[in-house]
């Protein structure tokens, strides 16, 4: 049956259940949305109407919420007399429906039926539930903008792989992607750059045309609602105090104006950054900046109902703060020791601000420097060390180490690999990734909320390039995040590869431009475009 991710428990019986023209759905209380989604997906692929039916009729898929199951657990039974999906909640029923779709075969992922196709399910019983509550994908739309339809498509791909947290990286030096009514210049100015570096920042190549775009407030509402229908939480990221050049370009008073006007870009107006790396232009630690971003976050909270709000906090170069009389006066005024503590104060302000509004702050592991904000959670990206330190201090952690699950890193050492970045991370490498470090005690390990794969898009200029970097590795990551796998060295990668042979056909049906096992197709290559490959195995720290 080649299911991905692999279920916790599965028993196969001889025979099949064939879906006839009269096959319908009985939607118990709380499962009506799942039934509607099945009619939209399976109905389109199979050509079956899937009408509402009652339990005493024949040819029925029974959907029900069963309080005796864990909240996201499901039980799927295909028996000679009918099909049942039970879940501990509507989310559990939804994840069971994703498994049902896989059982029908790859053509069940198409948008219209193929002629002459018959539909049948293997007689089986599956009991399943996820290992982690946070099974995430981070998509960077700041470096290269992805139009709304592409975002909705990725939510569908996440749902098909049982991923449930969409980390939406909306702002950075190279672009501001969310409409804020109170500050219109964030999108009028901050959402467009004049040109774009093609390849790594050392590349001599440029795309000499403007690049940009943003999501309106209604676009965001649509994305959030679309995700919610698929039981996916959308966690917005608004970067502070670094990675903020696009915001400063729109509102220069947010920057360290006491040191930048004479030394940055010859005193000219700062523009949205057109290259990659870490910009030295960071937010000024002033009351004006705090009030400005409170205004931004007020609108963000209105649009995003998620428990967590991500504030970045990574790669904040502090040279401007060291030279800024205003920043140095703030350090003295607050009784801080240095610029690291100034950043901790900055993050701590928004931690308290979000907590007072019933939300939780999460940031990259640099927020540990200078003292971790109370109640904050950590995205551990510079390896495992930050996550270990945070968990030991009693803070929740999402494990997303760069060396393991940054999917912008290259998939092979071959010369044909397009724009090779970072370490080689093969499909097998991702499959053997373990989110919970063995150094943690069982009590400390409970702070690991889960794991997340990250797609940074500096060298991904369009949706096809994002697909290439994400797949098939995202399928391996999804199994790591969902399934209770043995220790990395003991995982049966040969079995996973065998199941992937079927899964590639699902990806074909979904129109995913994945990297084939034999290497990139001719049109997926980028000959002559400079990357930044790193040789040798990545550090496991």
Supply 66's token pair: 């069963």
Q: pLDDT of 247-302, one tens digit each?
A: 999 999 999 999 986 444 444 579 999 999 999 999 999 999 999 999 999 999 99
Active site residue 172: yes
Give the active site residue among 274, 314, 315, 428. 315
Instruction: Report whether 275 contacts 207 (CB < 8 A).
Output: no
**Whole-number mean pLDDT of the chain?**
96
Residue-level pLDDT at 268: 53
- Report the pLDDT value the prediction gives residue 266, as an integer from 0 to 100: 45
- In this structure, what token pair is assigned to residue 317? 């170069």
- Side by side, the strands of the sheet bearing 60-65 are 9-18, 120-128, 74-79, 82-87, 60-65, 24-27
- 3-state SS, 358-408, equals CCEEEEEHHHHCCCCCCCCEEEECCCCHHHHHHHHCCCCEEECCHHHHECC
For residue 540, pLDDT over 90 is answered with no
pLDDT of residue 261: 60
Q: Do 338 and 288 contact (CB within 8 A), yes or no?
A: no
Catalytic residue among 2, 26, 172, 444: 172
Strands (E), 241-323: 308-312
Helix 339-355 with 287-303: angle, nearest 10 deg: 40
Name which of 116-125, 240-249, 261-270, 353-362 the model is least confident about: 261-270
CA dist., res. 19 & res. 21, Å (int): 7
Provide the pLDDT for residue 264.
45
pLDDT tens-digit profile of 141-173? 999 999 999 999 999 999 999 999 999 999 999
Q: How far is 147 from 174, CA to CA, in rounded Å?
A: 16
DSSP string, 71-92: TT-EEEEEETTEEEEEESSHHH
Tokens representing 417?
A: 């690999």
Cα 38 to chain centroid, rounded: 24
- The catalytic position among 84, 243, 395, 447 is 243
Tell me the pLDDT tens digit for each residue of 183-210.
Answer: 999 999 999 999 999 999 999 999 999 9
Q: Which structure tokens are listed for 188? A: 């009028």
286 within 8 A of 256, measured Cβ to Cβ? no
- b/e code 112-145 from CB counts within 10 Å (16+ = b): ebeeeeebebebbebbbbbbbebbbbbbbbbbbb
Verdict on whether the full-model pTM lies above 0.95 = yes
Residue 460 clears pLDDT 50, i.e. is over it: yes
Q: What is the mean pLDDT of residues 6-15?
A: 96
* Cα gap 258→474, rounded to integer Å: 45
The contacts of residue 221 (CB under 8 Å, 6+ apart) are 303
For the question of residue 498 being annotated catalytic, the response is: no
Decide if 231 is catalytic: no
The pLDDT tens digits of the residues spanning 398-423 come to 999 999 999 999 999 999 999 999 99
pLDDT over threshold 90, residue 311: yes
């Amino acid at each position: 049956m080649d299911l991905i991710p692999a279920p916790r428990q599965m028993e196969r019986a001889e025979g099949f259940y064939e879906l006839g023209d009269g096959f319908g759905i009985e939607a118990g209380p709380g499962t009506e949305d799942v039934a509607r989604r099945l009619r939209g997906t399976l109905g389109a692929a199979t050509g079956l109407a899937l009408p509402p039916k009652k339990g005493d009729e024949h040819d029925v898929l029974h959907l029900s919420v069963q309080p005796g199951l864990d909240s996201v657990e499901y039980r799927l039974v295909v028996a000679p007399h009918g099909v049942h999906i039970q879940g501990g909640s509507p989310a559990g029923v939804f994840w069971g429906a994703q498994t049902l779709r896989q059982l029908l075969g790859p053509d069940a992922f198409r948008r219209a039926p193929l002629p002459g196709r018959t539909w049948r399910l293997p007689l089986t019983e599956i009991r399943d539930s996820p290992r982690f509550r946070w099974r995430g994908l981070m998509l960077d739309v700041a470096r290269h903008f992805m139009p709304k339809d592409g975002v909705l498509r990725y939510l569908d791909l996440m749902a098909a792989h049982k991923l449930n947290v969409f980390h939406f990286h909306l702002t950075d030096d190279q672009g501001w992607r969310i409409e804020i009514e109170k500050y219109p210049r964030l999108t009028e100015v901050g959402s467009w750059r004049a040109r774009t570096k093609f390849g790594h920042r050392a590349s001599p190549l440029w795309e000499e045309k403007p690049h940009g775009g943003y999501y309106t407030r209604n676009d965001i509402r649509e994305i959030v609602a679309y995700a919610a229908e698929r039981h996916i939480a959308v966690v917005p990221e608004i970067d502070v105090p670094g990675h903020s050049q696009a915001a400063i370009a729109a509102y220069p008073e947010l920057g360290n104006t006491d040191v930048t006007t004479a030394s940055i870009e010859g005193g000219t107006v700062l523009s949205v950054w057109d290259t990659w790396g870490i910009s030295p232009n960071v937010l000024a630690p002033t009351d004006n900046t705090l009030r400005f971003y409170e205004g931004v976050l007020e609108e963000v909270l209105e649009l995003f109902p998620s428990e967590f709000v991500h504030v970045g906090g990574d790669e904040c170069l502090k040279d401007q703060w060291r030279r800024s009389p205003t920043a140095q006066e703030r350090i003295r005024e607050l009784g801080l020791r240095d610029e690291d503590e100034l950043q901790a104060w900055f993050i701590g302000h928004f931690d308290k601000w979000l907590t007072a509004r019933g939300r939780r702050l999460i940031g990259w592991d640099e927020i540990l420097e200078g003292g971790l904000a109370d109640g904050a959670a950590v995205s551990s990206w510079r390896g495992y060390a930050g996550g270990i330190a945070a968990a030991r201090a009693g803070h929740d952690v999402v494990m997303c180490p760069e060396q393991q699950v940054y999917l912008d890193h290259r998939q092979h050492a071959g010369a044909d690999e397009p724009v090779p970045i970072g370490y080689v991370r093969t499909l097998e490498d991702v499959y053997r990734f373990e989110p919970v470090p063995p150094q943690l005690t069982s009590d400390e390990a409970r702070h690991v909320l889960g794991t997340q794969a990250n797609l940074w898009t500096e060298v991904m200029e369009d949706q096809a390039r994002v697909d290439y970097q994400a797949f098939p590795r995202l399928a391996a990551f999804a199994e790591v995040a969902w399934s209770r796998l043995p220790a990395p060295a003991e995982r049966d990668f040969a079995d996973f590869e065998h199941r992937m042979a079927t899964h590639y056909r699902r990806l074909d049906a979904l129109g995913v431009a994945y990297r084939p096992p034999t290497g990139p197709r001719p049109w997926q290559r980028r000959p002559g475009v400079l990357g930044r490959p790193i040789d040798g195995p990545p550090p496991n720290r």
